Structure 1
Amino acid sequence: MRLGDVIQVNPESIRAGYPYEQIEYVDISSVGTGTMEGTKSISLDGAPSRAKRIVRNADTLLATVRPNLRSFLYVRQPSTNTIASTGFAVLRATDAIDPRFLYYTVTNQAFTDYLTANAKGAAYPAVDADTIKRAEIYLPPLSVQQKIAAILSAYDDLIENNLRRIKILEEMAQNLYREWFVKFRFPGHAKVRMVDSPLGKIPEGWDVRRLSDVCNLVMGQSPKSEFYNEEGKSLPFHQGVTDFGNRFPKTRLYCSVKSRLAAAGDILFSVRAPVGRINIAPTEMVIGRGLSAIRHSAGFQWFAFHLLKEKFKEEDSMGGGTIFKAVTKVDMQGIEFLSADNETHQRFEEIVLPVESQVENLTIKNSNLRQTRDLLLPKLISGELDVSELEINTGKKAA
């Protein structure tokens, strides 16, 4: 069955008479592999020209540029004014295909391989709507589609629940940072005198420091393609930060050049396109030119992590460049911040460490859930595993 026979591709776009003056914009950079960092509220008049695709509930967003990066999203209950970039194809199911089954079909690695093989262009390989429509898919009866979708959705629901818990934990830690190091309501603050500094009034005994004063900094550099290879032969390689908050997922790219390394636990900071995304290295890895690795020399790593998250709440708040912003090592070294006394820093680390440990444990659980789901997905989507006779609650009423 051809995919185009059972779906619509880009069924709606903004036209004259569009009723909303504000839109919730989904940009390419905000969507990962089944995840989204959020929408941007912008005026329709000030929206980029690529803000065109109207998005509805149960649509699938599929990035058409560099399909090998696997950027896609199943849309749940979007605002009525949600608009996606033309860098996405919006896939909408007809009555012949279950929307979640459609989503899992296009997230299957075999579908990604098909798109990658048919992409056109050297610098920005991309696929068009006709290429997507021509894809051959397995299409069992609707009742079987719903069973397959229910099995795979159970894993995604658990993952999403863990992500919500991670977000709450991260907000708790970040709020504590703001209380202590922004609002100066740290333990014993009432007994500390406020004094003048280049950054305004600060607690006595605190200092204005630069990142280079207290942190070791490694700037990444992308090796030539011949140094990339398969898992087990060298270290994981990452070019840039794609996920906020989550420890890096397992990479598909490995590198034998070991000159620009991040150690396990290093802060990973994106230095270009965009500037200011932050993550934590789960293991030793090679970092590309889109990343820097940061380690606090006194061991106050979680302080440094939340400091950078606070300073870069908005992406691209520093840096130069015409096409996209970027920062140099000198720019990074010159970042100014307030440094407290060692006792305050140590108490902050002791409180935050158990919270971050929970985040790490939930991240590991999600990694295991994804691994199991990804083993099942191709077998279910291809029909290799037959679920037609299984009693599975699909949430659908029998016809």
Structure 2
Amino acid sequence: MADKWTKYKLSDITTKLGDGLHGTPKYDDSGEYYFVNGNNLDNGKIIIKSDTKKVNYSEFEKYKKELNDRTILISINGTLGNLAYYNNEKIILGKSACYFNLKESFSKDFVRYVMSTKNFKLFLENFATGATIKNVSLETMRNFEFEAPKKELQDKIAKILSNYDDLIENNNKRIKILEEMAQKIYKEWFIDFKFPNHEAATFKDSELGKIPSDWEISTLENILSDIESGSRPKGGINPNDKEIPSIGAENILGLGKYDYNKEKYVSNDFYEKMKKGKVKDLDVLLYKDGAQLGRKSIFGENFPHSKCCINEHVFILRTNPKCSPYYLYFTLDTIENTERIKQLNTNAAQPGINQEQVKGLTIILPLKKYIEKFDNVVKPIVSQIFKLCIKNQTFKQTRELLLPRLISGEIDVENLNIL
């Protein structure tokens, strides 16, 4: 440990530490306030989901906590250690969200990074109670110990780490803009039918509505060269076999989205023996069974990996020359087609779809020249997304290498000039 670092308990540096409501408020769909729990906390932000419940002002007044611009939130029930800053959102807290207000003498960002370390995660796991649903008590949180330097050095350490987070955030914003550009082009050409030279087009009725007269309705079977799923070893995966990433439904999240922390692996030997399920450049991947049936993704240009495979819960959709992976991905990714994929499921208890159902799904198939023109416009956009995703992973890896060394004082920042 570096010289002149002092040991603190969390209770030493907070003015208040508590949790949310142990019970259920009266929900109100027209309310302005959200009922937030630990699963709404992610990577420094409070995430309001489509299923996050609302309450009215009366319930807010009854259950509100003393949150301010010095508040940090941590999940302490179920999923442990998710973190968010409070930024004046209109919320009340549930019991799985712990909140604490930091004294002015401590850097909020420094504490945030302390609680991003493996040591803090291990602390939560070691002191959690509950066989099925893990829970960390408020007393345990108050007793969490760590060492810290003077405020000036806390700020420097936090600034180094936040610079990487800022780079990642800026790239994420660029990725979002690029994806929206591609979606807008797709919608304009293939939903609104304002494709190049559309003025002369005539239309005909089809099972999917009016379409240009020289376009057709096609099954996926007609435009796919392969549809296959993968596998993992019987009896589970050896945790020591961190060789070839095996992608499951948890990482079918959409274009440019991938959570490396949720990765599982298979051995090189198992991978080489796989006859199906090896991911190739620009494969479209479809989540085929489970609660999030219908999600899809597309991988390429070494994102997320130069070599990887899928498990049995994912389909690879590989196009033939009649179509392109870009057109297929953006077609399946519309709200309407995502819903049609979900409706293929007939099992309420365990949602899922099979190959024959996917093959029978119909889509609008434009003339080949329009697919080729679309590819020419969208390919560089998607390529840039892949490149930004790879950059982000490099930034994250660098930050993760620096994090424990900076937070422990192993790297001395006293004489560094941090901008």
- Report the TM-score range of the alignment, normalised by the length of the smaller protein: 0.7 to 0.9
Match of 1:344 in 2: 370
- Contact between 2:77 and 2:95, CA under 8 Å: does it hold in 1? no
SS at match of 1:262: coil
- The one-letter code of the counterpart of 1:311 is I
Match of 1:199 in 2: 208
Change beyond 3 A, Cα 1:3–1:234: same
In the alignment, the residues of structure 1 paired with residue 357 and residue 39 of structure 2 have an alpha-carbon distance, to the nearest angstrom, of 23
RMSD between aligned residues: 3.8
**Structure with bigger gyration radius:** 2
Match of 1:2 in 2: 9
In the alignment, the residues of structure 2 paired with residue 24 and residue 347 of structure 1 have an alpha-carbon distance, to the nearest angstrom, of 45
Change beyond 3 A, Cα 1:242–1:343: closer
In the alignment, the residues of structure 2 paired with residue 122 and residue 103 of structure 1 have an alpha-carbon distance, to the nearest angstrom, of 28
SS at match of 1:227: coil
- Contact between 1:266 and 1:293, CA under 8 Å: does it hold in 2? yes
Q: Deviations over 1:350-376 (max 9, x none)?
A: 110011111111112211111111111
1:218 correspondence with 2:243: no
| Post-superposition offset of 1:193 | 1.2
- Contact between 2:286 and 2:294, CA under 8 Å: does it hold in 1? yes
Q: Deviations over 1:87-119 (max 9, x none)?
A: 544454333432211211111122223333444
Identity %: 26
| Post-superposition offset of 1:265 | 2.8
In the alignment, the residues of structure 2 paired with residue 222 and residue 61 of structure 1 have an alpha-carbon distance, to the nearest angstrom, of 37
In the alignment, the residues of structure 2 paired with residue 247 and residue 116 of structure 1 have an alpha-carbon distance, to the nearest angstrom, of 28
* Range with bigger deviation, 343-352 or 115-124: 115-124
- Contact between 2:35 and 2:55, CA under 8 Å: does it hold in 1? no
1:311 correspondence with 2:335: yes
In the alignment, the residues of structure 2 paired with residue 83 and residue 265 of structure 1 have an alpha-carbon distance, to the nearest angstrom, of 44
In the alignment, the residues of structure 2 paired with residue 368 and residue 38 of structure 1 have an alpha-carbon distance, to the nearest angstrom, of 28
Unaligned runs of 5+ in 1: 47-51, 394-399
- The one-letter code of the counterpart of 1:182 is I
In the alignment, the residues of structure 1 paired with residue 109 and residue 52 of structure 2 have an alpha-carbon distance, to the nearest angstrom, of 29
In the alignment, the residues of structure 2 paired with residue 348 and residue 182 of structure 1 have an alpha-carbon distance, to the nearest angstrom, of 13
In the alignment, the residues of structure 2 paired with residue 141 and residue 343 of structure 1 have an alpha-carbon distance, to the nearest angstrom, of 65
Choose from 265, 277, 296 the match for 2:295.
277
| Post-superposition offset of 1:81 | 1.6
1:268 correspondence with 2:293: no
- The one-letter code of the counterpart of 1:327 is G
Change beyond 3 A, Cα 1:150–1:17: same
- Contact between 2:204 and 2:213, CA under 8 Å: does it hold in 1? yes
- Contact between 1:60 and 1:72, CA under 8 Å: does it hold in 2? no
Change beyond 3 A, Cα 1:42–1:63: closer
What pairs with 1:295-374 in structure 2 (closer than 5 Å)?
Answer: 295-298=318-321, 300-311=324-335, 318=343, 319=345, 326-329=351-354, 330-374=356-400
| Post-superposition offset of 1:190 | 1.7
SS at match of 1:347: helix
Change beyond 3 A, Cα 1:224–1:84: farther
Choose from 93, 101, 118 the match for 2:110.
101
In the alignment, the residues of structure 1 paired with residue 136 and residue 55 of structure 2 have an alpha-carbon distance, to the nearest angstrom, of 29
Choose from 370, 382, 393 the match for 2:408.
382
SS at match of 1:269: strand
Change beyond 3 A, Cα 1:230–1:6: same
| Post-superposition offset of 1:232 | 5.6
- The one-letter code of the counterpart of 1:208 is I
In the alignment, the residues of structure 1 paired with residue 161 and residue 378 of structure 2 have an alpha-carbon distance, to the nearest angstrom, of 34
| Post-superposition offset of 1:378 | 0.7
Match of 1:241 in 2: 251
Match of 2:197 in 1: 188
TM-score normalised to the size of structure 2? 0.76
- The one-letter code of the counterpart of 1:175 is K
1:172 correspondence with 2:181: yes
- The one-letter code of the counterpart of 2:381 is V
Q: Deviations over 1:178-210 (max 9, x none)?
A: 011111111122222100111111111222233
- Contact between 1:108 and 1:377, CA under 8 Å: does it hold in 2? yes
Match of 2:149 in 1: 140
TM-score normalised to the size of structure 1? 0.79
SS at match of 1:200: coil
